[in-house]
Structure 1
Amino acid sequence: MKKIGVLFGRETVFPGALIERINQQKLKNITAEPVMIDKVIQGTNTGYAVILDRISHHVPFYRSWLKHAALNGALVMNNPFWWSADEKLVNNELAIKTGLVVPKTVLLPSFQHPPHTTSDSFRNLHYPLDWDAIFAYTGFPAYLKPLADGGWRNVHRVTSAEDFFARHATTGQDAMLLQEEVPFDAYYRCFYIGGQVRIMPYDPPRLHQHRYEADFMPDETLQQTLVRQVIRLNQYLGYDFNTVEIAVRDGVPHVIDFFNPAPEADQHIIGEANFEWVVAASTAFLVGKAKAHTIKKGTAGLTWGGFLQDAAKPATVTEKKRPAAAKKTGEKKAAKK
């Protein structure tokens, strides 16, 4: 029996609906259940063929367990090795390489010292930072947001240097980003699940529970553009599940945020129609992965982004011959002597 495990925390609506939908299909040799862990012994198979991760970004123990599961034959969505290394500035840098438009963004150190550090730990950090250059680059208004966290925790709209410093002082030990504000004509949150895309009108200034009630509607040309950009970005980054937020200004899409590997999926927030699509798309994707799964230790079954695959390509034939050619040249010189 191939088991699909869903690893989750406080959310209950989406995980429960997903597990129920998979099991309703009564598939031969495939079942879904909440992940249960009673021991973690190195080198042992966890018993799961496929695992959907919804919580490890908040629980380091789960993140390590998922890597253990992947190394011992499970397919984990999203790849826990890449997710551990990823953060929003890296995402922006990589998005630029794909030709997408992103907001002007600056990396900032945490306001408070991280654990087990003192001021001596920051001897290579100039103090004060070149705030004039930073503020000139992003401009105001701008958004102060955590480097590596999803949702709206610690996200602040700042309108001046004084406002920035006051808000930054409340952000604790989080490394932060300062990002230019992009005024928009329309805004979309695009769900990506295993190559499928759902474009959801979204209005960030509204109250949280009303943001998906926006009345933006892309025309056919813009819709095709958004779908292409979302697919390109997620395939390049290597995500199976993600959401991409895109602001459209004067017809030009600006990719605002796309570090959401455990995206919000509560039907009371995203709406019934969107929720149904997410459950159906997730079911089809996970079942397809389970059907194709064969136990093979290592990480070959995980999704690796295009940029990682390019970096891991072996040297070209010409490059491989260079050391040998150089060796022969050296041998000939030695013989002449």
Structure 2
Amino acid sequence: MKRIGILFGQERTFPEAFCDAVNGRDAGVTAEPVEVEALRHESERPYDVIVDRISHEVPYYQMFLKQCALLGTHVINNPFWRIADDKYFGTVLAAKLGVAVPKTRLLPQREDVQDIKPQSLTNLHLVDWERIGSEVGFPCYIKPATGGGWKSVSKCDDLAQLLHAFDDSGELVMMLQEGIEWEAYARLLCIGKEEVLIAPWDPTKPHHLRYTEAAFSYGDGLEKLMIEQAREINRALGYDMNTVEFAIRNGVPYAIDFTNTAPDFDRNSLTGDHFDWVVEKMTDLAIQRANEAPPEAPAVSWKQLIR
């Protein structure tokens, strides 16, 4: 019997529904919560597939998942590339793929980490804030280059607000992005690089109403473009579980947020139909991977896809 494990934190609705869906199929596969304790370097492969929902917050789990991948487990998402990626790299990559992105600048840390002295930063020049602000324009957003969940994100309407937000950023590496004044917004739920569901989503609404009260519509041409661009982004990043957000300005979709390796799949966030779709597609993907041969080596294809 093939085994699928799901590694998760505080969330409950998706992991429970996922395990029930896998176990409810007559596919010769079982699903269960992963059990982790002290790791042994000589361990054998514990699962055929692991769905990772929490390692971005627990470094210990990252090491566990890399060991599992080395032993032949299909890990969703690939732990090596999940750790390597960041939002700034993703923005550069999307632009190279021909996807529209906001004007973006990466900023050095406001405060140095422990043991870094001025002499350690010989090559680093001071930021020309007037120039950066003029290039990106206002309003703009300053946010961490890693992480998610809108943590430490600030909207800045002028240079004074930008400098204040930067002063509060501490040791975080921040990126500055043009504020896209959009007329519509979309979040695309992406499973297995090819399965994509467009969900109208309004980031201005309270969290629990962002799907249910989004009132946007998209023409067939725009829908087709967003779906294909989401697929291309996921193929390039090697992600099998992701959400891709587009802000539409003057009919052009701008990729805003698309390196979400453990996207919000909670039933209370998604609508019922969206939640059911995610559970079904993740179940299909995990069972498919469980019946495949162990991966030969972690791989990603962005080098072959950039223009």
CA distance in 2, matches of 1:239, 1:43: 28
Matching residue's letter, 1:305: V
RMSD of equivalent CA atoms: 1.6
CA contact (8 A) 2:27 2:287 kept: no
| 2: CA distance, partners of 1:68 / 1:281 | 26
Mapped partners of 1:48, 1:301: distance in 2: 17
Q: 1:143 aligns to what? A: 141
Question: Separation in 2 of the partners of 1:174 and 1:259?
Answer: 18
Show CA shifts across 1:144-197 (max 9, x none): 110011111001111111111111222221100000001111100101100100
Secondary structure of the 2:268 match is helix
Task: Please state whether the residue corresponding to 1:229 is helix, strand or coil.
Answer: helix
Q: CA deviation at 1:44?
A: 2.5
Aligned to 2:296: 300
Percent identity reads 40
How far apart are 1:2 and its partner, in Å?
1.2
The number of aligned residues is 304
Shift of 1:117: 2.4
Which residue does 1:331 correspond to in 2? none
Show the 5 A alignment for 1:215-254: 215-254=215-254
The whole-number CA distance in structure 2 between the counterparts of 1:253 and 1:63 is 33
Contact 1:111 1:169 (C-alpha < 8 Å) held by counterparts:
yes
Residues 187, 245 of structure 2: 8 Å contact kept? yes
Deviation at 1:310, TM superposition (A): 7.1
2: CA distance, partners of 1:120 / 1:247: 42
Q: Secondary structure at the match of 2:291?
A: helix
Kindly indicate whether the alpha-carbon contact (under 8 Å) linking 1:188 and 1:247 is maintained by their aligned counterparts in 2.
yes
Say whether the 8 Å CA contact 2:236–2:305 is kept in structure 1.
no
Larger Rg computed on CA atoms: 1
Q: Mean Cα displacement is larger for which, 166-175 or 148-157?
A: 166-175
Q: Determine helix, strand or coil for the equivalent of 2:218.
A: coil
Where does the alignment leave 5 or more consecutive residues of structure 2 unmatched? none
CA contact (8 A) 1:43 1:72 kept: no
Is contact 2:247-2:256 (8 Å) kept?
Answer: yes
Do the aligned residues in 2 keep the contact of 1:89 with 1:147 (CA within 8 Å)?
Answer: yes
Cα drift, residue 121 of structure 1: 2.8
Partner residue in 2 for 1:320: none
32-41 vs 275-284, which moves further = 32-41
Question: How many Å separate the matches in 2 of 1:125 and 1:206?
Answer: 40
Query: 1:309, CA displacement in angstroms?
Result: 5.6
Counterpart-to-counterpart distance in 2, 1:12 and 1:159: 38
CA separation in 2, counterparts of 1:173 and 1:225? 38
Distance 2:18 2:185 in 1: 28
Q: Tell me the SS of whatever aligns to 2:261.
A: coil
In the other structure, the counterpart of 2:154 is 156
Question: Contact between 1:75 and 1:301, CA under 8 Å: does it hold in 2?
Answer: no
The answer as to 2:167 corresponding to 1:169 is: yes
Distance 1:39 1:308, change over 3 A: farther
Partner secondary structure for residue 112 of structure 1: coil
Q: Secondary structure at the match of 1:267?
A: coil
Determine the C-alpha separation between the residues in 1 that align with 2:288 and 2:200: 28
Q: Does structure 1 conserve the Cα–Cα contact (< 8 Å) formed by 2:72 and 2:296?
A: no
TM-score by length of 1: 0.86
Q: For the residues of structure 2 that align with 1:19 and 1:301, how far apart are their CA atoms? A: 27
Aligned to 1:53: 52
Aligned residue in 1 for 2:200: 201
Gap regions ≥5 residues in structure 1: 312-337
Contact 1:45 1:73 in 2 (8 A): no
Contact persistence 2:245–2:257 (CA under 8 A): yes
Where does residue 66 of structure 1 map in the other structure?
A: 65
* Aligned residue identity for 2:242: N
Distance in structure 2 (CA, Å) of the matches to 1:284 and 1:301: 22
Residue 283, structure 1, aligned to residue 279, structure 2:
no
